[in-house]
Amino acid sequence: MNRYAVEQKFKSIAAFLIILILLPYIVSVFVNGTDVREDGSRFYVKVKVPDTEQADGVTEIEWTDYLAGILAEEIPEDCEEETLKAQAVLIRTQIYRTAADLEDKVLTESYMTREEMEHKWGEDKYEEYHKKYTRAVEETDDTVLMYHESYAWTPFHQSSCGKTRSAAEVLGSEEYPYIAVRECPLDKDADDEIQSFIFTYAEIQNLCRDFLVAEEDGEKAAEGYTFKDFEIQSYDSAGYVSRLRIGKTECTGDQFRDALSLPSSAFSLSEGGDKSIKITTTGKGHGMGMSIWTADQMAKEGKTCEEILSFFFEGTELRNDIQETEIF
């Protein structure tokens, strides 16, 4: 073998060895979205988020800190770790689902910064809770919920009225068959499960003015409402108000909930006294997808993250996705 051929052979062997040595690193970065510092420790890639203090209105934050910060804002720190992991999967899936349509790739989901966490919990508990949220993100590394070949829609709420709602009923669409009615009797014991509010008829008229029919708004402006002007006409199969009549106007329970900033559209009406109405709500949130309260009770009973998500999103599939680079 001539000298040139020997040199080429050694170069090929050297190149192969370099690839072999670097392969774990390449796979780690590609799959986990991480990099390696000179001291061998790992750090996570960064994403862009809004920041009004920056000249361009944008700053960067580590991906893990971002997800942990969203978790900290949405779910109590005393929740079980399997609950936190299930919620981390839902958040990650939703971000991936919407990120493809973001031209500037600036993620706008509200989150708690490390400083805000420390202010909320104090120095004593900050490290413990921050590690707890971060661990939930890391232990579900890149895991998302898929429906067929698309990211699933992953809504969640604090507690239902005893059943979660069907997306087909609420949205009038069959696009999300995996978001169906689920029995959640444990939600009956949730914090602030039942709440009552008193509104004057004038307050309701003002808050609902955007969808009250024009003639109703004009007539009732002078006359004013009475209790007989309010009628719940129908409920969905989970017990949430589907249709409500206000005078001559028909609206959805969700419209009424949003206008009055009620915690739930599972409500009842009763007379509240002079020129007022009493509204009693059950549950907290829109009622679709995962109930955080029931998920946490399931976790306390020994259910895993996978079992929790399978219960609330039956028909979806957990996958370890490697497409996250589309948002970085």
Within a domain: 41: no
Within a domain: 268: yes
Model confidence at 21, pLDDT cuts 50, 70, 90, reads very low
The residue ranking higher by pLDDT, 62 or 328, is: 62
Is the Cβ–Cβ distance between 226 and 239 less than 8 Å?
no
Helix (H, G, I), strand (E, B) or coil at 42: strand
Model confidence at 19, pLDDT cuts 50, 70, 90, reads very low
Q: What ranges in 198-262 are assigned the alpha helix state H?
A: 201-207, 214-223, 253-260
Domains in the chain: how many in total? 3
Segment 31-47 mean pLDDT: 51
- Domain region containing 200: 187-282
pLDDT of residue 221: 60
Same domain, 10 and 56: no
CA max distance for the chain: 106
pTM across the whole model = 0.82
Give the least confident one: 27-41, 96-110, 160-174.
27-41
* Sequence letter at residue 301: E
Segment 306-321 mean pLDDT: 94
pLDDT of residue 8: 54
pLDDT tens sequence across 171-197: 999 999 999 999 999 999 999 999 999
pLDDT of residue 56: 83
Give the least confident one: 62-76, 91-105, 187-201, 252-266.
91-105
Segment 252-275 mean pLDDT: 96
Within a domain: 130: yes
Same domain, 53 and 141: yes
The residue ranking higher by pLDDT, 312 or 44, is: 312
Same domain, 272 and 317: no
Within a domain: 40: no
pLDDT of residue 36: 41
Same domain, 57 and 146: yes
Within a domain: 18: yes
Q: Based on C-alpha coordinates, what's the Rg of the chain?
A: 26
Q: Tokens 């072999």 belong to which residue?
A: 20
DSSP 8-state class, residue 262: -
The residue ranking higher by pLDDT, 79 or 37, is: 79
Q: What is the C-alpha to C-alpha distance for residues 11 and 309, in angstroms, rounded to an integer?
A: 51
Same domain, 122 and 78: yes
With a pLDDT cut of 70, the percent of the chain lying above it is 81
Is the Cβ–Cβ distance between 292 and 83 less than 8 Å?
yes
Cβ–Cβ contacts within 10 Å for residue 35, how many? 13
Same domain, 51 and 108: yes
Same domain, 143 and 227: no
Looking at every residue in the chain, the average pLDDT score rounds to: 86
Sequence-separated (6 or more) residues with CB below 8 Å from residue 192 = 263, 284
pLDDT of residue 10: 54
Nearest-CA neighbor of 288 among 137, 142, 168, 114? 168
pLDDT of residue 327: 61
pLDDT > 80? residue 292: yes
Within a domain: 173: no
Task: Kindly provide the b/e burial profile for residues 198-208, where b requires at least 16 CB atoms within 10 angstroms of the residue's own CB.
Answer: ebbbeebbeeb
Same domain, 201 and 263: yes
Within a domain: 57: yes
Model confidence at 148, pLDDT cuts 50, 70, 90, reads very high
Within a domain: 160: no
Segment 202-228 mean pLDDT: 79
pLDDT of residue 30: 35
pLDDT of residue 26: 36
Same domain, 307 and 276: no
pLDDT tens sequence across 244-262: 999 989 999 999 999 999 9
Same domain, 204 and 293: no
pLDDT of residue 11: 53
Sequence-separated (6 or more) residues with CB below 8 Å from residue 271 = 227, 277, 278
Segment 200-217 mean pLDDT: 83
Three-state secondary structure readout of 146-204: EECCEECCCCEECECCCECECHHHHHCCCCCCCCCCCECHHHHHCCCCEEEEEEEHHHH
pLDDT of residue 5: 52
Same domain, 135 and 95: yes
